[in-house]
Amino acid sequence: MKTTIFLPLLAILVPVAFAPGLRAQEPAIDPERAANTIILDEAGVENLRLETVLVEERDFESTVFAIGRVEEIPNNHYAVSSRIAGIAVEVNAFTGDRVRKGDVVVKVESRLPGDPPPVIELRAPIDGLVTETDVLQGQPVEPDVELLDISDRSEMWVVARIPEERAHGIDIGSQARITFPAVGGEPISAELVRFGVEADREAGVIEGIFVVPNGKGRLFPGMRAELEIIIGKRSNVMAVPEEAIQGDPASRVLYVKDFELPNAFVRVPAVLGERGGGWVEVKRGLFPGDEVVTRGSYSLGFVGGDSGMSLKEALDAAHGHEHNEDGSEMTAEQKAARDAGDGHDHGAHGAGGGAPGWLRIYAIASTALLLFFVQLWWNARRKPQPAASA
């Protein structure tokens, strides 16, 4: 009897479990998300050169931005002059030459009598660069005249002009990252060693002096410098690169890679905090693990609706079944209504195609009941009949 009951139940459960339209329907996509989703094709992604960064909590530095200029360190500048009057009979160094300490740079013949007259050698006091030459061979020389200027530029000053309203929290020893537009490359770390002697009243700035290495000699006096002076550090701050931030100051947005649709990006409003070190704190709008567009984010704001497939087409391709324009899964009733509206007989294209879901359930249940009663009738026929009495 167990087998008798099991077979009809199996006949009911299996068709119902696999019947089209009986599984849970996908909900519609949030209209706001749908309106802010940009879907590209692969060519569009390549043309925009999109790059993303994974959002995660990080150590965040609060900084003050300042513009500065490169200057020589005064104590590293030397003048070469003669102790006696005479004539420069030999000049071995000129503006732009590099000299070593002890090199003979000028020979001066004394005016004192002698045969030959006495000659003294003027030597470089340091390793450095000849920045100015005021003597030529055969020129008279006087003791009170500088003949050459030599500068040791292995280190340089960067004099930063710090806005007075941002100077609070900046002290001797404060660290800064300094970049030089004319040189490029990675920022140089430096330490504030002293302040200027007075403030610029008209510009509203004070001077902060940093010492930077110049071993390759690529920094020159007057060169522009850009500084990020560190005034504080915090841990576990969610931040994104500055280039990811788009929109106007009152309405900042980010473009986040869609978590399920390929080549799709969602425009997300964001509330921002502090800026520092090329990063911006995000107080609201993102979650750890989001992928934010950095390079190419500005261009996404100008992408039109015909740049790729629609949201419906993208969902169809990703999930393997049809969707409505609002992103919800298309039900059997909706398919039937659509097919009836376009004037084509889609019902002949497949078993049950276009049939309402309730009608399929009714057919399955009726078939199961019929099988059940047929099974009972068959079992009754197989029972042996009692023998007739003599």
Query: Quick one: pLDDT at residue 320?
Result: 55
- Sorted by where each begins, the domain ranges of the chain are 2-19+354-382, 64-72+154-235, 77-151
Q: What fold does the segment set 64-72+154-235 form as a domain?
A: Elongation Factor Tu (Ef-tu); domain 3 (2.40.30)
| Calpha distance 97→151 (Å, rounded) | 11
Q: Indicate the pTM of the whole model.
A: 0.60
Confidence grade of residue 350 (pLDDT, cut at 50, 70, 90): very low
Confidence grade of residue 319 (pLDDT, cut at 50, 70, 90): low
Using the predicted structure, report yes or no on whether residue 12 has a pLDDT greater than 80.
no
Q: What fold does the segment set 77-151 form as a domain?
A: OB fold (Dihydrolipoamide Acetyltransferase, E2P) (2.40.50)
Q: What is the pLDDT of residues 77-111, one digit of tens each?
A: 999 999 999 999 999 999 999 999 999 999 999 98
Confidence grade of residue 277 (pLDDT, cut at 50, 70, 90): confident
Confidence grade of residue 228 (pLDDT, cut at 50, 70, 90): very high
Residue 171 burial (10 A CB sphere; 0-12, 13-18, 19+): exposed
| Calpha distance 326→214 (Å, rounded) | 61
Mean pLDDT of the chain: 82
Q: What is the pLDDT of residues 180-213, one digit of tens each?
A: 999 988 899 999 999 999 999 999 999 999 999 9
Using the predicted structure, report yes or no on whether residue 135 has a pLDDT greater than 50.
yes
Give yes or no for a contact between 265 and 256, defined as CB atoms under 8 angstroms apart: yes
Lowest-confidence range among 6-10, 254-258, 262-266?
Answer: 6-10
Q: What percent of the chain has pLDDT over 70?
A: 76
Query: Quick one: pLDDT at residue 17?
Result: 44
As given in the structure block, the two tokens for residue 71 are 């200057």
Nearest residue to 270 via CA among 255, 259, 260, 258:
255
Q: What is the pLDDT of residues 21-51, one digit of tens each?
A: 444 555 556 667 777 888 888 888 899 999 9
Query: Quick one: pLDDT at residue 31?
Result: 66
